[in-house]
């Protein structure tokens, strides 16, 4: 949902980046013409490249830095299926099949860890919780309603006197976003996709109302299809294509890691805590915490993300100690910031827009990591076949904003 630098060493990531970049730049000359150009090498660009390559569609991914360097690398990596719309739940359910069968379906490692997932809501949202849970059960998702007493047995360190019901997904948990994106990109390249890193797109060309290619800091590339998967920079790419009627902006999001005191135990469930506008999950002896309020909109995605904004640490520590009082004995390990693209209804923007051949796969609003495998599949179907058949993604079409058809879920909040 939120964004963070993975806990593993950044040196490892940069080492992988350097090796990948060298492999791209030393094996020249390389073809500059493809069937599809994908702008952005985050988890969504990598997923689309993988699914296109499975269908033997030649794709080139143009990434201005390195794979997973922006929103993906800062993602908290939650893998859960509790959404308040059926389409999003279906995408998360399909993606879950990838995460739990990653080696067989993709190859490599995604770091999926099963912790169980709890959706906590206050009394005013219990009916919506029941409706959502029933909808997800009808899809086939392993989820059930549990009581506060059940939660206390699952997580004895949690305060449970401020809610009566919760939704529980025993099979859910989290994965490692950088590993996920790199595994998808590696699998795509093994099947014929090309990755160009350190490549910033500076212009998009059209002829007779159709896209033809791009200019970039690493030369010109040509294709009849261009996909904007640029995350927090998606609005800039849209402007290059003359797409001005899709209202995207940026969303700043901070997270921190707390070292858990021993009395909490070796782990705890992954949780979205609606009452406290917070989510948290374990990772080793650490607990990641993110907040869903006080996150600035509209800032430049080029801003510094090395540290959280002033005041975040105090608010986050206060919230996690409300739910887990024993966390007061823990201590802060690190904080990070990040940016993602966000849409007015906090749902992704998927589909054709502007000149013929230009597609959007952006606006994921902080929740796109867990649905990326399925969205890549559906976008590949849309581009190649003319419609997504595995999951209907038509409700996410870019034209919904101009038509006033914003997506509404059962929760009137950011938990989309």
Q: What stretch of H or E contains 37?
A: strand 36-39
Task: Name 85's bridge partners.
Answer: none
Phi then psi for residue 209, to 5 deg, are: 80, 10
Residue 226 contacts residue 359 (beta carbons within 8 Å)? yes
Phi then psi for residue 289, to 5 deg, are: -130, 130
What is the side-by-side strand order in the sheet with 59-62?
Answer: 194-196, 59-62, 36-39, 225-228, 358-362, 349-352
Q: Which CATH class is domain 11-74+178-249+344-400?
A: alpha beta
Q: Which CATH class is domain 117-170+254-337?
A: alpha beta
Query: Quick check: 57 pLDDT over 80?
Result: yes
Task: Name 146's bridge partners.
Answer: 166
Integer Cα distance of 376 and 379 in angstroms: 5
Are 11-74+178-249+344-400 and 117-170+254-337 equal in CATH topology?
no
- Taking only the tens place, the pLDDT of each residue in 342-372 is 999 999 999 999 999 999 999 999 899 999 9
Is-above-0.85 flag for pTM?
A: yes
Which residue ranges make up each domain of the chain? 11-74+178-249+344-400, 117-170+254-337
Q: Tokens 């099979």 — which residue?
A: 171
- Taking only the tens place, the pLDDT of each residue in 201-236 is 999 999 999 999 999 999 999 999 999 999 999 999
């Amino acid at each position: 949902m939120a964004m963070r630098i993975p806990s593993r060493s950044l040196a490892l990531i940069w080492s992988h980046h350097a090796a990948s970049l060298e492999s791209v730049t030393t094996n020249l000359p390389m073809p500059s013409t493809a069937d599809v150009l994908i702008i952005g090498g985050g988890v969504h660009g990598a997923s689309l490249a993988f699914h296109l390559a499975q269908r033997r569609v030649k794709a080139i991914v143009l990434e201005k830095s390195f794979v997973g360097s922006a929103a993906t690398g800062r993602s908290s990596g939650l893998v859960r299926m509790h959404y308040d719309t059926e389409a999003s739940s279906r995408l998360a359910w399909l993606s879950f099949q990838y995460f739990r069968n990653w080696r067989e379906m993709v190859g490599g490692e995604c770091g999926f860890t099963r912790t169980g997932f709890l959706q906590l809501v206050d009394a005013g949202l219990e009916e919506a919780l029941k409706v959502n849970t029933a909808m997800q059960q009808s899809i086939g998702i392993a989820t059930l309603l549990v009581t506060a007493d059940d939660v206390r047995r699952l997580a004895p360190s949690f305060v449970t006197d401020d809610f009566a019901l919760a939704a529980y997904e025993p099979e859910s948990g989290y994965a490692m976003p950088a590993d996920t994106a790199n595994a998808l990109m590696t699998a795509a390249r093994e099947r014929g996709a090309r990755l160009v890193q350190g490549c910033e797109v500076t212009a998009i060309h059209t002829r007779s109302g159709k896209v033809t290619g791009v200019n970039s800091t690493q030369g010109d590339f040509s294709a009849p299809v261009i996909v904007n998967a640029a995350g927090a920079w998606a609005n800039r790419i849209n402007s290059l294509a003359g797409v001005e009627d899709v209202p995207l902006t940026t969303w700043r999001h901070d997270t921190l890691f707390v070292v858990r005191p021993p009395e909490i135990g070796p782990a705890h469930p992954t949780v979205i805590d609606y009452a406290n506008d917070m989510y948290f999950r374990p990772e080793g002896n650490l607990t990641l915490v993110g907040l869903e309020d006080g996150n600035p909109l509209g800032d430049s995605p080029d801003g510094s993300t090395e540290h959280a904004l002033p005041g975040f640490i105090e608010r986050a520590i206060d919230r996690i100690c409300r739910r887990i009082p024993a966390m007061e004995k823990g201590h802060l390990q690190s904080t990070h910031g990040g940016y993602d693209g966000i849409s007015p209804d906090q749902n992704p923007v998927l589909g054709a827009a502007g000149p013929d051949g230009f597609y959007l796969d952006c606006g994921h609003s902080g929740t796109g990591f867990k649905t990326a495998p399925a969205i890549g599949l559906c976008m590949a179907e849309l581009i190649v076949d003319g419609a997504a058949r595995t999951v209907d993604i038509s409700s996410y079409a870019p034209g919904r904003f101009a038509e006033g058809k914003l997506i509404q879920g059962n929760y009137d909040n950011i938990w989309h």
